Amino acid sequence: MPVFFDEAKGIFHLQTLGSSYVIQLVRGYAAHVYYGKKLRQNSNLDGMLVHTGRASFSPSLPGDPSLSLDALPQEYPQYGTGDFRYPAYQVTLSDGTRITELLYRSHRIIQGKPALKGLPAVYVEQQDEAETLELELYDNYSGLVVTLSYSVFTNLDVIARSAKFVNTGQEEIQLGQMMSVSLDFPDHQFDSLYLPGAWARERHVVRKPLAPGITAIGSRRGASSHNMNPFFALLRPDASERQGEVYGFSLVYSGNFLAQAEVDQYGTTRFSMGIQPFDFGWKLQQGESFQSPEVVMVYSAEGIGGMSRTYHKLYRTRLCRGQHRDAERPVLVNNWEATYFHFNADKIEDIASAGAELGIELFVLDDGWFGHRDSDNSSLGDWYEDRRKLPQGLGDLAARVQGYGLQFGLWFEPEMVSPDSELYRAHPDWCLHVPGRRRTEARQQLILDLSRPEVQHYLYDRLSDLLSNVPISYVKWDMNRNMTEIGSAALLPERQAETAHRYMLGLYALLERITSQFPQVLFESCSGGGGRFDPGMLYYMPQTWTSDDTDAAERLKIQYGTSLVYPVSAMGAHVSAVPNHQVGRITSLAFRGDVAMSGNFGYELDLSKFTAEEKEIAKAQIAAYKRRRSLVQTGDMFRLKSPFEGQMTGWMFVSEDQSEALLFYYQVLAEPNAPIHYIKLEGLDPQRNYRLEGCEALYGGDRLMSAGLPLQLEGDFSSRVIHLHGC
Residues with a catalytic annotation lie at: 478, 548
Phi, psi of 657 (to 5 degrees): -90, 5
Strands 543-545 and 571-576, by their bridges, are parallel
Burial of 724 (0-12, 13-18, 19+ CB in 10 A): buried
CB 333 within 8 A of CB 176: no
- What CA–CA distance (Å, rounded) separates 224 from 534? 7
In this structure, what DSSP letter does residue 495 have?
G
Residue type, 553: A
CB 136 within 8 A of CB 255: no
- What CA–CA distance (Å, rounded) separates 24 from 54? 21
Name the residue among 596, 605, 612, 636 with its Cα closest to residue 721.
596
DSSP string for residues in 476-489: EE-------S---T
Contact residues for 368 (Cβ-Cβ < 8 A; gap 6+): 339, 340, 341, 342, 343, 374, 386, 389
Cα–chain-centroid distance for residue 110? 27
What are the Cα distances from residue 433, in Å, to 37, 223, 495, 496? Answer: 50, 17, 14, 11
Region of residue 436 (phi > 0: left; psi between -120 and 50: alpha; otherwise: beta):
left
Burial of 619 (0-12, 13-18, 19+ CB in 10 A): middle
- What CA–CA distance (Å, rounded) separates 589 from 578? 9
- Terminal alpha carbon distance of the chain: 39
- What CA–CA distance (Å, rounded) separates 280 from 276? 7
Write b or e for each residue in 550-588: b if 16 or more Cβ atoms lie within 10 A of its Cβ, otherwise e. Answer: bbbbbbbbbbbbbbbbbbbbbbbbbbbbbebbbeeeebb
Cα–chain-centroid distance for residue 697? 41
Name the residue among 448, 416, 445 with its Cα closest to residue 431.
448
Burial of 723 (0-12, 13-18, 19+ CB in 10 A): middle
- What CA–CA distance (Å, rounded) separates 55 from 479? 52
What are the Cα distances from residue 589, in Å, to 350, 647, 723? Answer: 21, 19, 20
Q: For the chain, what is the radius of gyration of the CA atoms?
A: 27
- Starting at the edge strand found earlier in the chain, the sheet holding 19-26 runs 3-6, 11-15, 19-26, 29-37
What are the Cα distances from residue 333, in Å, to 15, 238, 383, 409, 595? Answer: 46, 44, 22, 10, 16
- What CA–CA distance (Å, rounded) separates 497 from 474? 35
CB 102 within 8 A of CB 93: no
In DSSP terms, 259 is beta-bridged to 217, 273
CB 20 within 8 A of CB 14: yes
What does the longest C-alpha to C-alpha distance in the chain come to?
A: 86
